[in-house]
Chains A and B, each alone.
Chain A
Amino acid sequence: MSALLRNPKAWVALLCLLPLLRLVGLGFSGGLGANPIEFITRSTGTWTLVGLLVTLSVTPLRRLTGRADLVRYRRMLGLFAFFYACLHFVTYVWLDQFFDPAAIVRDIVKRPFITVGFTAFVLLLPLAVTSTHAMMRRLGRRWQQLHRLIYVIALLGVIHFLWLVKKDLTEPLTFGAVLALLLALRLPWGVALLQAARSRFVSAKY
Chain B
Amino acid sequence: MLIRQPNDIPPSEITPPEVYRERRRFMQGMGALAAGTVLGAAPDADAGIRLAGVRASPYKLDDERTPYKDVTTYNNFYEFGTGKSDPAKHAGSLKTRPWTVAVEGEVRNPRMYDIDTLLKLAPLEERVYRMRCVEGWSMVIPWAGFPLQEIIRRAEPTGNAKYIEFVTLNDPRQMPGQRSRVLDWPYVEGLRLDEAMHPLTLLAVGLYGEVLPNQNGAPIRLVVPWKYGFKSAKSIVRIRFVEKQPLTAWMAAAPREYGFYSNVNPQVDHPRWSQAKERRIGEFFKRDTLMFNGYGEQVARLYRGMDLQKFF
A133 at the binding interface (Cβ < 8 Å): no
Q: Are B82 and A167 in contact (CB under 8 A)?
A: yes
Q: Are A110 and B274 in contact (CB under 8 A)?
A: yes
What string of 1s and 0s marks CB contacts (under 8 Å) between A161-190 and chain B?
A: 001101110000000000000000000000
Return chain B residues, CB-CB under 8 Å to A107: 274
Cβ-defined partner of A167 (8 Å) among B73, B182, B273, B274: B182
CA distance in complex: A164, B271 (Å): 11
Closest residue of chain B to A39 (Cβ to Cβ) is: B84
Interface residues of B in 1-48 (CB under 8 A from A): none
Asked if A112 meets B272 with Cβ closer than 8 Å, knowing A34-B74, A167-B82, the reply is: yes
Return chain A residues, CB-CB under 8 Å to B135: 166
CA distance in complex: A140, B267 (Å): 52
CA distance in complex: A96, B273 (Å): 14
- The B interface, classified by DSSP as helix, strand, loop or mixed, is loop
CA distance in complex: A168, B273 (Å): 17
Q: Are A35 and B279 in contact (CB under 8 A)?
A: yes
Q: How far is the CB of A65 from chain B (nearest CB, A)?
A: 36
Cβ-defined partner of A35 (8 Å) among B78, B82, B137, B254: B137
Closest residue of chain A to B70 (Cβ to Cβ) is: A34
Q: Are B85 and A33 in contact (CB under 8 A)?
A: yes
Return chain A residues, CB-CB under 8 Å to B285: 98
Task: Count A-side interface residues using an 8 Å CB cutoff.
Answer: 21
Q: How far is the CB of A82 from chain B (nearest CB, A)?
A: 26
Interface residues of B in 52-90 (CB under 8 A from A): 69-70, 73-74, 78, 82, 84-85
A141 at the binding interface (Cβ < 8 Å): no
Return chain A residues, CB-CB under 8 Å to B85: 33
A84 at the binding interface (Cβ < 8 Å): no
A111 at the binding interface (Cβ < 8 Å): yes
Return chain B residues, CB-CB under 8 Å to A37: 279
Cβ-defined partner of A168 (8 Å) among B70, B182, B254: B182
Task: Count B-side interface residues using an 8 Å CB cutoff.
Answer: 27
Return chain B residues, CB-CB under 8 Å to A98: 284-286
Cβ-defined partner of B84 (8 Å) among A35, A103, A112, A167: A35
Q: How far is the CB of A20 from chain B (nearest CB, A)?
A: 21
Asked if A110 meets B279 with Cβ closer than 8 Å, knowing A33-B73, A98-B285, the reply is: no
CA distance in complex: A97, B73 (Å): 25
CA distance in complex: A96, B254 (Å): 27
Q: Are A34 and B73 in contact (CB under 8 A)?
A: yes
Closest residue of chain B to A167 (Cβ to Cβ) is: B182
What string of 1s and 0s marks CB contacts (under 8 Å) between A109-129 and chain B?
A: 011110000000000000000
CA distance in complex: A106, B74 (Å): 28
B118 at the binding interface (Cβ < 8 Å): no
Interface residues of B in 244-291 (CB under 8 A from A): 253-254, 269, 272-274, 277, 279, 281-282, 284-286
Q: Are B272 and A167 in contact (CB under 8 A)?
A: no
B115 at the binding interface (Cβ < 8 Å): no
Q: How far is the CB of A120 from chain B (nearest CB, A)?
A: 17
Cβ-defined partner of B274 (8 Å) among A35, A106, A163: A106
Q: Are A33 and B182 in contact (CB under 8 A)?
A: no
Closest residue of chain B to A171 (Cβ to Cβ) is: B82
B152 at the binding interface (Cβ < 8 Å): no
Instruction: Write the residues of chain A forming the contact surface with B, with a CB cutoff of 8 angstroms.
Output: 33-35, 37-38, 95-98, 103, 106-107, 110-113, 163-164, 166-168
Q: A35-B137, A98-B284, A167-B183 are in contact. List 6 more A-B contacts (CB 8 A).
A: A33-B85, A35-B74, A98-B286, A103-B277, A166-B82, A168-B78
26 A/B residue pairs, CB under 8 Å, sorted by A: A33-B73, A33-B74, A34-B70, A34-B73, A34-B281, A34-B282, A35-B74, A35-B84, A35-B279, A35-B281, A38-B279, A95-B284, A97-B286, A107-B274, A111-B273, A111-B274, A164-B272, A164-B273, A166-B134, A166-B135, A167-B78, A167-B182, A167-B183, A167-B254, A168-B78, A168-B82
The 8 residue pairs across chains A and B that have the minimum distance between CB atoms = A34-B74, A168-B82, A34-B70, A111-B273, A34-B281, A168-B182, A167-B182, A110-B274
